[in-house]
Amino acid sequence: MHHDTRLVSEGTRRYGRLTERPGRVNPLDEFSGPERLLRRLRLKEWLGFTLTHPDWASSMILQDAHYLASSEIYAAERGSGVSLQHAANAAGGSLRLPQSLPGSRPGLRKPGYLLEYEFSDGGGPHRIRIDIAATDSAPAFAGDLELDAARASAPLSVSHKMPGGRLYTHKALFGVSGTLRAGDAEIVFDPSRDLAILDEHKSFLPYRTRWLWGTFGTRADGAPVGANFGARPSVPGEEEESGLWVPGACEPLADIAFTPRSSDRMARWSVTSADGRLDADFTPQGRKDVRHQLGLFEIDYFQLYGTYRGTMRSLDGTAYPVAAAHGVLESMRARL
């Protein structure tokens, strides 16, 4: 469900936790003239999904930094640690990531590489389509996945100010079905068990950007539950992008501490909220690193996939055990 609301109306932007994704999200609408053109160069947009499955970890993303657009996808076997990855680049601004999700069909489409999302307009299922040719370093990927929009979690939709920038994000949990083929592997998703975690951003990030972030999803009595949590430089009093998904609601969460148990690159992490409503340990099973040095631009990034164990607790005190919930944890340090 969505209304014809806007993140920015008549030059005024909405801030705080929103009850749902605005019908139109274009942070540039806050600006006009030369400032709008300059802000476009600072706008970072992405649409990604993390998939949960007992035997495989997989994430995918479409991202547009407006000086470069790109897409990445990986599938990693949890038992063996074998990770298969593909990536493709495109001209900045060419992805035209949608301001309204319902009825949109964003994707990166070029010879040998197709990653496309189709967002339904009217309550039907969303879809993810993948058709990527084999390369020297990875086998072909092919997939047609269906996301249960009718029984999705409540949305996490947050607009806030940060030092040197502004952030907008929208996230949700969906039951996922269908098959992803990665070479000889056939990964079959069970919608009563497996989840697709949506992560959408349309943000003006500061030139020096850093964050720690994680998410996981599981089920409680059949309903999707989980958490999204982050730590980054913030403006006092502003909402954070953290939240707990409990049956029928996404409840606010704040003041997250990420603590690695050692300096090892595959160390376990402790993730806790100051109020104790999230208390979990993360055990990595694999790691993806991205490092780029491009003159003024630099990225030092890693994403760990693995399992979370611990407890999450709703505002009314209900405890939800987190037992081997599949998820990710990532670190970004960049000059963008």
One pLDDT digit (tens) per residue for the chain, 336 residues: 445 589 999 999 999 999 999 999 999 999 999 999 999 989 999 999 999 999 999 999 999 998 889 999 999 999 998 999 999 999 999 999 999 999 999 999 999 999 999 999 987 999 999 999 999 999 999 999 999 999 999 999 999 999 999 999 999 999 999 999 999 999 999 999 999 999 999 999 998 999 999 999 999 999 999 999 999 999 999 999 999 999 999 999 999 999 999 999 999 999 999 999 999 999 999 999 988 887 777 889 999 999 999 999 999 999 999 999 999 999 999 987
Residue 49: domain span = 8-335
Whole-angstrom Cα distance, residue 72 to residue 149? 24
Residue listed under structure tokens 């998939």: 51
Asked, for residue 130, whether it belongs to a domain, the answer is yes
Whole-angstrom Cα distance, residue 5 to residue 139? 43
Asked, for residue 2, whether it belongs to a domain, the answer is no
Asked, for residue 26, whether it belongs to a domain, the answer is yes
Asked, for residue 1, whether it belongs to a domain, the answer is no
Residue 246 forms beta bridges with which residues?
249
Asked, for residue 224, whether it belongs to a domain, the answer is yes
153-179 burial string, b = 16+ CB within 10 Å, else e?
A: bbbbbbbbbbeebbbbbbbbbbbbbbe
Q: Domain tally for the chain?
A: 1
Cα angle, residue 293 at apex, residues 290 and 295 outer, rounded to 5°: 155
What's the predicted TM-score (pTM) here? 0.96
